[in-house]
């Protein structure tokens, strides 16, 4: 039996393949609603949600539908996973029913265990450690607006969370500079930073949002209090992260044509102001839309084993 083609993290997929995924996503986006190409007819994706979701759930469900496939949605409290069945046993059973599994969970170890025991592709819909599908959509969005991301500078301001880890992976794969402004206590894992630097990536850890944003081509952030942040009270996190809010002053340090990104949902008045997220630099709605197109590319690659852009045109 062939080894399943998983999509778990950006550092586990070759740069060539990631580039092909972005090209494919762009091609299917151009085709849009007129798409009569249904390569996934007869295919079923199981989507397991142990954490709430809007964009991940809708984009995967619509992507499968538009490609001719179908989905089965499983909430953790409605499955035996929520009653003590092991991840390994769940993976083995689902592999007998469906063609791929998307998992959105708190623990990265669950994703890894699912992938080890499934005989069908497993896709990372988000863990506490990383969010690769989102950052693929972010790179796609940047390149639509500003051209190749290679050699550009992305500034992150806020919590050093799972989004930052995937941005670090992307900095290695797509060869752009990444500046990360976070409080000392909320910096991304040093092991990930060291790995990226060992790969030749330009990763800079900073203490101030305006310093990170200076001359940047993109400024990005995320919510200050994410699902599962129990180590620090929400009020303490907000106080700690208040200096990292992306407002008009911070954006003025970036290049005049810099874009603002946020994976959503946004807490307006906390990590970003209304003036920025609703302003001319904001591309957050394009990011959200591009989740759909990137998801199509990932699903096609996982299930069909090739990315025939011509076949999608």
Q: What is the pLDDT of residues 47-64, one digit of tens each?
A: 999 988 999 999 999 999
* Cβ atoms of residues 18 and 133 within 8 Å: no
Q: What is the mean pLDDT of residues 209-227?
A: 94
Distance separating alpha carbons of residues 86 and 73, to the nearest angstrom: 18
Q: Of 122, 123, 120, 100, which is closest to residue 44 (Cα–Cα)? A: 100
Residue 248 pLDDT > 50, yes or no? Answer: yes
Residue 19 has what pLDDT? 98
Q: What is the mean pLDDT of residues 95-105?
A: 97
Residue 225 has what pLDDT? 85
Active site residues: 104, 131, 134, 222, 263, 291
Strand-by-strand arrangement of the 218-221 sheet: 203-206, 177-181, 153-157, 218-221, 259-262
Residue 35 pLDDT > 60, yes or no? Answer: no
Torsion over CA of 197, 198, 201 and 203, rounded to 10 degrees?
A: 0
Average pLDDT score over the chain = 93
Q: What is the mean pLDDT of residues 216-224?
A: 98
* H helical segments located in 125-279: 132-146, 162-174, 190-198, 209-213, 234-241, 248-253, 274-277
Residue 40 pLDDT > 80, yes or no? Answer: yes
pTM as predicted:
0.95
Question: Residue 128: beta bridge partners?
Answer: none
Per-residue confidence band for 305, with pLDDT thresholds at 50, 70 and 90 = confident
Burial 128-142 (b: 16+ CB within 10 A, else e): bbbbbbbbbbbbbbb
Residue 84 has what pLDDT? 77
Distance separating alpha carbons of residues 253 and 247, to the nearest angstrom: 11
Neighbours of 149 (CB within 10 A): 21
Residue 121 has what pLDDT? 98
∠ CA 270-272-274, rounded to 5°: 105
Regarding predicted confidence, which is higher, 35 or 249?
249
Per-residue confidence band for 313, with pLDDT thresholds at 50, 70 and 90 = very low
Strand 44-49 and strand 259-262: the pairing is unpaired
Report pLDDT digits (tens) over 171-183. Answer: 999 999 999 999 9
Residue 22 has what pLDDT? 98
Residue 231 has what pLDDT? 62
Report pLDDT digits (tens) over 122-144. Answer: 999 999 999 999 999 999 999 99
* Secondary structure (DSSP) of 267-284: -BTTTB-HHHHTSTTB-H
Identify the structural domains of the chain with CATH numbers, from first to last.
Answer: 10-130+291-312 (3.40.50.1370), 132-287 (3.40.50.1370)
3-class secondary structure per residue, 113-145: HHHHHCCCCEEEEECCCCCHHHHHHHHHHHHHH
């Amino acid at each position: 039996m062939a080894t399943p083609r998983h999509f778990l993290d950006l550092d586990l997929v070759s740069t060539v393949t990631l580039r092909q995924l972005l090209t494919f996503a762009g091609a299917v986006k151009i085709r849009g609603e007129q798409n009569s190409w249904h390569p996934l007819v007869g295919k079923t994706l199981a989507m397991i949600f142990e954490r709430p979701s809007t964009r991940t759930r809708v984009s995967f469900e619509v992507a499968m539908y538009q490609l001719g496939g179908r989905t089965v949605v499983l909430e953790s409290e409605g499955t035996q996973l929520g009653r003590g069945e092991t991840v390994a046993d769940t993976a083995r059973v689902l592999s007998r029913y469906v063609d791929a599994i998307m998992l959105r969970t708190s623990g990265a170890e669950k994703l890894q265990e699912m992938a080890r025991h499934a005989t069908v592709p497993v896709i990372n819909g988000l863990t506490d450690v990383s969010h690769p599908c989102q950052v693929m959509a972010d790179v796609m969005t940047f390149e639509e607006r500003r051209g190749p991301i290679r050699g550009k500078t992305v500034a992150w301001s806020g919590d050093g969370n799972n989004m930052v880890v995937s941005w670090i992976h992307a900095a290695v794969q797509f060869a752009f500079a990444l500046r990360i402004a976070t409080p000392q206590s909320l910096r991304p894992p040093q092991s990930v930073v060291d790995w990226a630097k060992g790969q030749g990536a330009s990763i800079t850890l900073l203490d101030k949002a305006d310093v990170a944003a200076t001359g940047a081509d993109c400024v990005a952030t995320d919510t200050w209090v994410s699902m599962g942040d129990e180590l620090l009270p929400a009020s303490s996190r907000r106080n700690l992260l208040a200096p990292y809010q992306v407002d008009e002053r911070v954006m003025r340090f970036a290049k005049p044509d810099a874009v603002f990104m946020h994976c959503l949902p946004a807490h307006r008045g906390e990590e970003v102001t209304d003036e920025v997220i609703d302003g001319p630099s904001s591309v957050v709605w394009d990011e959200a839309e591009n989740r759909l197109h990137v998801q199509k590319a990932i699903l096609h690659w996982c299930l069909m084993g090739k990315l025939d852009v011509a076949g999608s045109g």
